[in-house]
Structure 1
Amino acid sequence: MRIASFLKTAAIAAALLLPGFAQAGDKVTVGVSGGDGEVIWQEVKKVAAKDGIDIQIRVFNDYLLPNAALDGGDLDLNAFQHKPFLENQVKTKGYKIVAIGDTVVSPIGLYSKKVKAPAELKEGAQVGIANDPSNGGRGLLLLAAQGLIKLKDGVGILPRVLDITENPKKLKFRELDAAQLPRSLDDLDAAVINTNYALQANLHPGRDAIAVEGTKNNPYGNIIAAREKDKDNPLYLRVVKAYHDDAIRQFILTQFKGAQLPVW
């Protein structure tokens, strides 16, 4: 009987070590952006708990620290950035970080307290865009789509101010930290603001933006990122599965009313 009991205990212990089996004490620290990101991950935390995963949420209020924290081992995962931003960070910082799951797209918007439409911007108007290459480029693409500027052919999704070939209104561009743009809106004629920062300033893209980028074939889908060596970690892939639960999809669609859209 003692042998049978030992074998039964050993079998249970072995099962607990199998990928996908809920284990007590499966903790994963995820770095997220404040605002919508934190709200969504609080719901993901509930779903993951049913699979025995304890998600520890760490909130960041800028775009530079989460990748440094992940690369340095202070986080297990992060979920705050779109693919072009990560690609640029990997290129410039040398981070060994990869995407392991898709999350949402947040349509970026052009906001103004002085005009009601992009065409109303006057000659020499000051327009704020983000000072990081991916979000700054995204802002320029939105302005080009509105016919305010033209960009050099072949610039892809990372155009710079230097790539502007036509600027009929002689717009003046102020490149600021993305988090500063909502607070600078009073001093600008318009600004292209990321949705998470817009919402924190009580600006909703569907209500307040004078122009919003399209979502069809949008390359700026956000991601869950891990260190390259951990890209196949079964525990981290279970976190992705929790995020992709239908309950999270429905929560996003209901809660944010188009400000965030699931892309999985």
Structure 2
Amino acid sequence: MRNTTKITAAVLATGALTLGLTACGSDKGDTKAKASDPLVVAATPVPHAEILEYVKDHLAKKAGLNLEVKEFTDYVTPNTATEDGSVDANYFQTQPYLEDFNEKKGTHLQSVATVHLEPLGLYSEKAKKTADLKKGATIALPNDADNESRALRFLAASKIITLKAGSESDATPQDVEKNPKNITFKEVEAAQTPRSLQDVDAAVINGNYAIGAGLKPAKDALALESTKNNAYNNVLAVTKGNEDDPRVKKLAKLLTSPEVKKFIEDKYAGSVLPSF
């Protein structure tokens, strides 16, 4: 039975404040987690929390892991919560996003397992294929730096635009060199890209948000990101110093087990791909 704790950034902010006040009077090193303690993992709902729930319901007990899943709907709070100790680990992000977050926010997160890939897709309620996009069309992009540059590279690979040479790793709309359809780009929060479909001609949507919105990437996308040589695998992450926590090691092993591979393949039918 699903028993996932859903949490919002506002609620977490209150909890984080309480945690901070408590921490002022205690030494973080004084409390070492026991193997029987719950491992609290932050995750976005689909597919991350669903995969964790499968582990919790079918694999964790036998492995001696007490797993607790907390759902978040944004790409920032899970990392800040992991960094400040509000949760023990998170599972929601790609390796490049993690590295970019560390650099910009001064956090100390690191991956401990590579689990799956969610290919980016281009979706539209107005076009049936990329060729149907009209001149002057507006395409919504995720507004965080990592996902935006990834989306632009994807559009370039789909022959919709061309990027300036050398700009690919950190491309922004200003790096578009050739734009034959005179596409306008609308930058929105990644979680809001499915909702933006009503207001734009097309949107580049991350796989988890597409699935969460009822879209079927393998079927509904006008174009889908290739898995070949793709660096954007989703990872289980902890803050530095917690990578040797026995509970984390157990979860990493379970998330890359044959059982989880089969679950991903059966449930998501190509919309989410195991990367182990």
Q: Same fold (TM over 0.5)?
A: yes
1:79 partner SS: strand
| Structure 2 gap ranges (5+) | 1-33
Q: What do the CA deviations read for 1:53-84 (whole angstroms, capped 9, x no partner)?
A: 11110000111110010001001110000011
Does 1:234 find its partner at 2:240?
no
Q: What do the CA deviations read for 1:202-259 (whole angstroms, capped 9, x no partner)?
A: 1111111100010011110000001111122232111101111211111111110001
Q: What do the CA deviations read for 1:160-214 (whole angstroms, capped 9, x no partner)?
A: 1111111111100000001111111011000000111111211111111100010
Q: Which runs of 4+ in 1 moved over 3 A?
A: none
CA distance in 1, matches of 2:170, 2:244: 29
CA distance in 2, matches of 1:121, 1:199: 23
Q: Which moved more, 1:60-69 or 1:39-48?
A: 39-48
Equivalent residue in structure 1 for 2:47, among 29, 36, 53: 36
Counterpart of 2:235 in structure 1: which amino acid?
I
Residue of structure 1 in register with 2:158 after alignment: 146
Structure 1 residue 28 displacement after superposition: 0.4
Residue of structure 2 in register with 1:261 after alignment: 273
Structure 1 residue 26 displacement after superposition: 3.6
Structure 1 residue 35 displacement after superposition: 2.1
Equivalent residue in structure 1 for 2:74, among 62, 68, 88: 62
Equivalent residue in structure 1 for 2:93, among 73, 81, 91: 81
Q: Which moved more, 1:149-158 or 1:95-104?
A: 149-158
CA distance in 2, matches of 1:156, 1:82: 17
Matches within 5 A, 1:43-58: 43-45=54-56, 46-58=58-70
2:43 partner SS: strand
Residue of structure 2 in register with 1:108 after alignment: 120
1:41 partner SS: helix
| Structure 1 gap ranges (5+) | 1-22
Structure 1 residue 24 displacement after superposition: 6.6
CA distance in 2, matches of 1:249, 1:240: 13
Instruction: Give the TM-score of the pair, scaled to structure 2.
Output: 0.85
Counterpart of 1:157 in structure 2: which amino acid?
S
Q: Is residue 153–residue 168 contact of structure 2 (8 Å, CA) maintained in 1?
A: no
Does 1:25 find its partner at 2:36?
yes
CA distance in 2, matches of 1:204, 1:230: 36
CA distance in 1, matches of 2:251, 2:159: 42
Q: Is residue 26–residue 52 contact of structure 1 (8 Å, CA) maintained in 2?
A: no
2:193 partner SS: helix
Counterpart of 1:241 in structure 2: which amino acid?
K
Structure 1 residue 156 displacement after superposition: 3.7
